[in-house]
Amino acid sequence: MFISSIGWLGLWFLGKQGAEIKVENSDFIVEADEFFNFGGATPKETLKLFIAALEKNDLILAVKYFIPENRETESEDLMKLYEIHLLGDLLKDLKSIKSGKGLDDGRYRFEVLDETGQAAAELELIKNQKGFWKIISL
């Protein structure tokens, strides 16, 4: 499988080389997030819900699975992928994810592997105060 690094990965990482999103206050106020209950009870469930939304081209639903701080940026990025017809490449790569690993209390990371088995991209999630897994970043 060629991970389309020229495609959606290139778009994600343009200008973001070495950039890492850190959430300093992981205990964001649930009440301020009207979509706090969008997500799964497990990271894998949230990934499946996110993929299902993308399969329907429902970008509005898809961004509800992100933490509030990143929703606007991720919405813009998903819209760009949709407009340049690369959303299908993203979907294919997300569906190829086999497993992930817990990082620390309330965090989980999936890796998208390229054809050589090397990590080409990451999908990081965090568990909110109500127990739902939300996507931090792609």
User: Domain locations in the chain?
Assistant: 37-137
Q: What is the DSSP letter of 113?
A: E
Return the closest-CA partner of residue 130 out of 23, 34, 24: 34
Cα–Cα distance, 20 to 134 (Å, whole number):
17
Tokens coding 108: 């989980």
Instruction: Report pLDDT digits (tens) over 6-15.
Output: 454 444 444 4
Instruction: Report pLDDT digits (tens) over 48-86.
Output: 999 999 999 999 999 999 999 999 999 999 999 999 999
Q: pTM higher than 0.85, yes or no?
A: no
Pick the CATH number of 37-137 from 1.20.50, 3.10.450, 2.40.50, 3.30.300: 3.10.450
